[in-house]
């Protein structure tokens, strides 16, 4: 595996790799766990070469968020990616990604409104800007993202369609199902911030989501199902719920009742000083 930190060698190397067939990009912020490795494995199945980017993107963190404490472990991550057979690690620093004078922001309406877009103002502008740059820098044939960040996946798909990004089709952006611990908690770099006691309580999140989905499938209306989901989380030790919503799975339009089109239940909740997100198909 080659590691590059500058744009010229990145482009030279990717054009050599492309001679063998399709190149897949897996964008990450490092602190890799089983969820990221699932993306890499799916990318390996679908392409001749996998490029992974590691960049902790300051533009997607708000002023009071956890940019400083976000785990950074490039040597460990690099060893894991090498074992997975990744061809190229793209690891620019902030000065390469955002050189002096950088003044462009990619900002979306629609799918970025509400939920994490409301709870974390500016977050999706930061995500869209860096992912747009990563697509332009690497020029992948396909790119893979985790379904755990469902709203992020929708934002990226929308952006790729709207800006005719070099990926050949919107379907070239692949969502990979969430990887979970044995007790159901979705893998996340932020789980590392949980004490053993909070970690045990955190498993209430997927349980509460499943219970709400079961209630709605048995005919409970959305609103009371969300109210009891929130009550379940608070009684399990969560300190607050940013949102618990049912939305159309594709357009992310908020739903007040279930219809035939696919729906998704999405939740963000706080436990200790950590904010966890999760979502499931209804
Ligand atoms: O999901 C993430 O790790 C990040 O939001 C991403 C897509 C790598 C952009 O920084």
Percent of residues, the chain, with pLDDT higher than 90? 93
**58 and 77 Cβ atoms separated by less than 8 Å:** no
pLDDT value of residue 165? 87
Backbone angles phi, psi at 235, to 5 degrees: -70, -20
Q: Give me the architecture of the 189-281 domain, per CATH.
A: 2-Layer Sandwich (3.30)
In this chain, the answer to whether the domains covering 2-176 and 189-281 adopt an identical fold is no
Lowest mean pLDDT among 57-61, 128-132, 258-262, 263-267: 258-262
Q: What is the mean pLDDT of residues 60-86?
A: 94
**127 CA to centre of ligand 1 in angstroms:** 6
**Region 23-50 average pLDDT:** 97
Q: Which residue do the tokens 């893979």 mark? A: 144
Select from 246, 254, 250 the least CA-distant residue to 225: 246
For ligand 1, atom 9, name the residue with the nearest CA: 127
Residue of minimum CA distance from atom 5 in ligand 1: 127
* pLDDT surpasses 90 at 171: no
Measure the CA–CA gap between 108 and 90, rounded to whole angstroms.
26
Contacts of 250 (CB under 8 A, 6+ apart): 154, 261, 262
Residue-level pLDDT at 170:
59
Atom of ligand 1 nearest to the CA of 29: 3
- What distance in angstroms lies between residue 124's CA and the mean position of ligand 1's atoms? 10
pLDDT category, 159, cuts 50, 70, 90? very high
Residue 33 catalytic? no
| 196: confidence class by pLDDT, cuts 50, 70, 90 | very high
Of 176, 186, 161, 160, the residue nearest 44 (C-alpha): 176
Task: Please report the pLDDT score of residue 73 as a whole number.
Answer: 95
| Region 181-206 average pLDDT | 97
Distance between Cα 235 and ligand 1 center (Å):
31
DSSP secondary-structure letter at 180? B
pLDDT value at position 158? Answer: 94
Amino acid 69: pLDDT: 87
The domain over range 2-176 is classified in CATH as 3.40.50.300: no
Task: Show the ligand 1 pocket: residues with CB < 6 angstroms.
Answer: 27-29, 57, 60, 127, 130-131, 149, 152
Region 195-212 average pLDDT: 98
Alpha-carbon Rg of the chain, whole angstroms? 19
How far from 29 is each of 53, 91, 166, 190, 244, CA to CA, in Å?
8, 10, 22, 12, 26
Q: Which of 26, 28, 70 to mutate to test the pocket of ligand 1 (most atoms within 8 A of CB)?
A: 28
- Report the alpha-carbon distance of residue 164 to residue 159 in Å, rounded: 8
> For residue range 50-60, what is the model confidence (pLDDT) as tens digits?
999 999 999 99
For residue 255, the CA-to-ligand 1 centroid distance in Å is 27
- All structural domains of the chain with their residue ranges: 2-176, 189-281
Give pLDDT tens digits for 92-144: 999 999 999 999 999 999 999 999 999 999 999 999 999 999 999 999 999 99
């Amino acid at each position: 595996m080659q590691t590059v930190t500058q744009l010229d060698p990145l482009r030279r190397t990717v054009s050599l790799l492309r001679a063998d067939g399709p190149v897949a990009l897996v964008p990450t912020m490092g602190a890799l766990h089983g969820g990221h490795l699932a993306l890499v494995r799916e990318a390996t199945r679908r392409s001749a070469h996998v490029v992974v980017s590691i960049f902790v993107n300051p533009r997607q963190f708000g002023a009071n968020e956890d940019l400083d404490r976000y785990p950074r472990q490039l040597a460990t991550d690099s060893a894991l990616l090498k074992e997975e057979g990744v061809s190229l690690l793209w690891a620019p620093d902030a000065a390469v990604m955002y050189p002096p004078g950088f003044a462009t922001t990619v900002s979306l309406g629609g799918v970025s409104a509400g939920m994490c877009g409301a709870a974390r103002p500016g977050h999706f502008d930061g995500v869209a800007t860096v992912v747009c740059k990563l697509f332009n820098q690497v020029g992948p044939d396909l790119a893979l993202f985790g379904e755990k960040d469902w709203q992020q996946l929708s934002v990226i798909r929308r952006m790729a369609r709207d800006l005719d990004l070099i990926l050949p089709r919107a379907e070239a952006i692949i969502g990979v199902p969430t990887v979970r611990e044995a007790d159901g908690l979705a893998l996340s770099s932020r789980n590392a911030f949980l004490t053993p006691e909070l970690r045990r309580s955190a498993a209430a999140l997927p349980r509460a989501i499943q219970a709400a989905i079961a209630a709605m499938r048995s005919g409970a209306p959305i609103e009371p199902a969300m109210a009891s989901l929130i009550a379940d989380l608070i009684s399990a030790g969560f300190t607050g719920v940013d949102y618990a919503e049912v939305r159309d799975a594709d357009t992310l339009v908020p739903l007040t009742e279930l219809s035939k089109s696919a729906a998704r239940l999405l939740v963000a909740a706080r436990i200790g000083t950590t904010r966890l997100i999760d979502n499931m198909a209804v």
